[in-house]
Amino acid sequence: HAAKPRARISLLCHSYGSVVCARAARGLEAEDIVLYGSPGTGYDDAGQLHTRASVWAGRGRGDWIGGVPHVRVPLLVTTVGFGTDPVSRRFGARIFDAGDAGHSDYLKPGSAALASMSRIVEGRHV
């Protein structure tokens, strides 16, 4: 914002990076937080991120991460799992089309996922 005060800031968070972004969300001056190929965030719903940013989630039909159980289970002195699936209605994120993307395909030129995320970052929401 110092260099360009009207610049849009978006956080793009892939896979385990979704957990990192969710923990950092509070207080960030981002317009959008985009979770893709996510195993979860460690939170039950998008409201728990305590952010003014729009929270988006997408997962490609070819992404193996969809088969990972979306649970959070207390185990002795820690917790196993990352909780609610970000693309589930229960989580409450805005869903974007990620097409047929596999786990490493979201940013491939010409992909539906890249087109959707580009529109979000530009402020032309899908």
Per-domain residue ranges of the chain? 10-122
CA dihedral over 117, 120, 124, 126, signed as positive or negative:
positive
- 3-class secondary structure per residue, 86-126: CCCCCCCCEECCCCCCCCCCCCCCCCHHHHHHHHHHHCCCC
The tens digit of pLDDT for each residue in 73-114 reads 566 766 656 788 999 999 999 999 999 999 999 999 999 999
pLDDT at 81: 61
Residue range 21-56, pLDDT digits in tens: 999 999 888 999 999 999 999 899 999 999 999 999
Mean pLDDT across the chain: 90
pLDDT in tens, 56-74: 999 999 999 988 867 665 6
